Structures are given as C-alpha cells and as structure tokens.
Amino acid sequence: MDLALIGITCESDHTGSTTWLHDSYYRAVEKVGGTPILLPPLYPGPAMERLLPVLDGLLLSGGGDVDPCYFGEEPLPNTGLITPDRDLFEITLTRRALAKGIPIFGICRGMQVLNIAAGGDIYQDLALSGEVSRVKHCQSAPRWHPTHEIIIRSESLTADILESRQIRVNSFHHQILRKLTPGLKATAWARDGVIEAVEGTGQGFVLGVQFHPESMCCRQPVFLNLFEALNRAAVQRRLSDVDETVAKIIQGKPAAQVE
C-alpha cells in the first residue's frame, strides 16, 4: 500500500524560539498507515513551495489564538498569546493547499485557521457571541475524556466518518467560528449552537473539528476514523498524481514538464 505523506503543523511559543508537537497527533496518523511529517513555522518562500508538491495531506494542529488582524479586527482583552510566525505560516500554507486540492483536516485552532485562511472569521472569545453558553468549552477533565455532546448533520461527511448523529467530545477552546467562508459548511454543533465541525462544499477532502480527536482515539477508536479519512483521501491524491505523471511520460512530455 502506498504510504501518504501527511504534513502536521507544529505549535510554537509567542517569541518564535521554540517549536513542538504533542505526540498524539503523529501517533494517530502513524496508526492509520500514514507517514507524518512535522512542519515547523517556515517563512513563506522557497522552502514552503518545495513542501507543497511533497505533501499528500495536511493536518492543522491545535494551539493558541490566531492574530485577529487576519480577519480585520483589533485584539480584544480576552485574546490570548499570539504566535505571529505560526499564524503566517499556517494561513499561507492552508491557502496554497486549498488551491492545489491537498486534503486538509483542521483540529480546534486548525479548524479556525482553515476558515480564516479561506475568508471567514471567528469570535475572539465565546462571550462575544452574544449568547449565554450552556456548555463548558474549556473542560476541567483529562484530555481523553469527552465532556459534552455534539449534534451532527445527517448526510454529511462528518456523520459518515463518526458513524453517528450524536457523540460526546472533549473541549479546550474559548474562540469559536463566526462567519463561515462560502467554501465551508457547518456539520456539527454543541447544544449551545457553537459550531463543532465543518467540511468543504467542493469535491476535495476538507474537514475541520473544534474538539481534539487525537486525545480521545486511544480510548474511543471511533475518533481514529477522522485520521483514517484524511489518510484515505491523501492516498487517493498520491495515486492520482502518479497516474497523471505516468500519462505524461506515455505522451512523451519532456521531463521538465513531469513533476
């Protein structure tokens, strides 16, 4: 079986001096048969451009808050630490990946980055949504423990992958999606109306969740399905690229035209 190369974005501190990733992300990718590649926050340029043809899939990991300048706002008092290098890298990389049709899966912050990169925005803090939340979205429980229920739209990719229309998930966030870009649609909600999952409206694999499946799949294997879906889409893309390259060779295209 062809092993898909899945790029996973890493966390960094607000000074840009330290980069890391919780092992649960790459272990989940590895467990479903993918080959994880850890991506530090590179500056846009040649190095990033060389990455794109290599990646079969992209996993946008969780982390801190996104700089509100990317959706036209000033930082508000409840906005947390900002990581400028990571924001620039992930938003640029996501836009390029969307343009190239690379399968994308965003987790927590990653779902928010996906929406922002495509032209949507977020509430900088849950309290700003104008609704009184009836759900605790930053839990006081182990990361593997699901603490609140979400409702999943039937006939959606999210429902197919998780094999359910209702499921309990964990929660570690204070920022939430607000305006969705036209390229995304909401497919799951918490009981208080907070968007918990999105997927692309086009043909490619684009998926985001507000919870952290990488922390739950060790005890609830159904959440590993999300990583299997990403890997499956990435393998399909890899194989289609191989078919296209072979076709070009058969047609006698010059080597320079065969990526």
Handedness of CA 163, 208, 169, 136 (dihedral sign): negative
Beta bridge partners of 151: 166, 189
Euclidean distance between CA atoms 233 and 230, whole angstroms: 5
212 is catalytic: yes
Q: Token pair of 226, please?
A: 């999300």
The rounded Cα 75 to chain-centroid distance in angstroms is: 23
Active-site residue (options: 11, 196, 199, 214): 214
Active-site residue (options: 137, 148, 173, 212): 212
Q: What is the DSSP string of 139-198?
A: -SS-TTS--EEEEE-TTSHHHHHHT-SEEEE--B-S-EE-SPPTTEEEEEEETTS-EEEE
Active-site residue (options: 108, 137, 148, 199): 108
Euclidean distance between CA atoms 135 and 123, whole angstroms: 16
Burial class (CB in 10 A: 0-12, 13-18, 19+), 170: buried
State the pairing for strand pair 5-9/57-60. parallel
Among 71, 82, 86, CA closest to 20: 86
108 is catalytic: yes
The rounded Cα 167 to chain-centroid distance in angstroms is: 19
Task: Please compute Rg for the chain using Cα positions.
Answer: 18
Q: Which residues are catalytic?
A: 108, 212, 214
